[in-house]
Structure 1
Amino acid sequence: MAGRAQYEELARQLSAIGAVKRDLARILPPECPGGSAAVLTLVGRHGDMRMSKLAELLAVDMSVTSRHVAHVAERGWIERSPDPVDKRSRILRLTDAGRAQLDELSRRITELLAERLGDWPDDDIGRLIQLMARLRESFGDCRSAPRLAHSAPTSEPSAQPVADRTTRTPA
């Protein structure tokens, strides 16, 4: 098992990931900020869905989700159709323009990664992918507050702290 010093160094390295995320955000087109890119990515990956499902995947409040969806809908990248099962709900679907924007985002990100990691051996990139996937899996869906070893256990699930979903961004 890793020692405290290793976990402390890991924490420092993970906080430095913010620089990588900021660099990735800089290459987004001005008309497609991070929240919009996340909406396009998730609808592209998971297919048509309700707003409530998107809010769950984004791990943000429904009002935040609505603002992001309104932004992409105004640009014609997504359409909102009445849910045939529940007319009060909307189904979100990528449009052809949305697919084109998603392809452009993917191209930009891939180019930046290729530029920054171009001198890395293929095996190192493969290992990084593997380790990051494993790290993400170890944290689960990241929608609940972590239980720390020093926290007192409680018998009531409602007493567990709830993470503030209004400020999170997708990983």
Structure 2
Amino acid sequence: MAVSKKRSGGPAASKAVADDFPVQLELATRGLLALNVSVLEHMEKRIGLAALRALQSLERLGPSMVTELGDDLDLLSSTASRLSDRLADAGYITRGVSPTNRRATLLELTDAGRAVLDELVALRVQAFGEVAALMSDVDRAALVQGTRAFTDAHRELSDRARQDRTGPVPTPRVLPG
């Protein structure tokens, strides 16, 4: 695996740098990933990763049908239903009848589910703070700017993938008037 070398001018050089960027990024983010893995390993003693992802999904989506949770996590409805049963049994979510479709099950986070997510965030914030204390102000600002841009791009890519799975959201037709 080649680490970035100084390259000079021209379109071929620009392409080489662009092609090398994912390698550079992978190397540069190893510390962030290691920190996240460490926090997740700590959390996994209490709640499994699939359950944690489901809680994060419900936090992002708000009250949702089992099928919506499954779609968001790319799970079969039956798998999402079993996962939601386990989360409800643990007290992390509630399962109820949908007010709009009595055959559908509505899932909502409980205070206990929110507490798990709050604990995850608190552990990450603490760990990030310990590392960031060793960085300069300039490096911290650059890291925040770059990771925000990366998160925005990742969100866009995820939205596109979700749309590819579920189809485009129909746009209202405007009648001439």
Given the alignment, which residue of 115, 139, 143 partners 1:125? 143
Q: CA deviation at 1:140?
A: 4.2
Counterpart of 1:110?
A: 125
Q: Hey, what's the Cα distance between the residues in 2 that align with 1:23 and 1:97?
A: 22
- Asked whether the equivalents of residues 39 and 120 of structure 2 are also in contact (C-alpha less than 8 Å), the reply is no
Aligned residues with identical type, % of pairs: 20
- Compared CA separation, residues 49 and 129, structure 1 to 2 (3 A): same
Q: Structure 1: which 5+ residue stretches go unaligned?
A: 146-156, 158-171
Which residue does the alignment assign to 1:169? none
Cα RMSD of the aligned pairs, angstroms, is 2.9
State the alpha-carbon separation in 2 of the partners of residues 131 and 119 from structure 1.
Answer: 23
Q: 2:73 aligns with which of 34, 41, 58?
A: 58
Contact map agreement 1:25 1:33 (CA 8 A) in 2: no
Greater relative CO, 1 or 2 (CA 8 Å, sep 6+): 1
Shift of 1:24: 3.7
Compute the displacement of 1:36 (Å): 1.2
Give the whole-Å Cα distance in 2 for the aligned partners of 1:109 and 1:103: 10
Q: TM-score, normalised by structure 1?
A: 0.69
Between the aligned partners of 1:102 and 1:51, the Cα distance in structure 2 is 20
**Which of the numbers 90, 114, 125 marks the counterpart of 1:99?**
114
Higher share of residues assigned helix: 2
The whole-number CA distance in structure 1 between the counterparts of 2:80 and 2:16 is 38
Q: What is the rounded CA distance, in whole Å, between the counterparts of 1:88 and 1:12 in structure 2?
A: 50
Contact 1:27 1:108 in 2 (8 A): no
Corresponding residue pairs, total: 146
Displacement of 1:138 in angstroms is 4.9
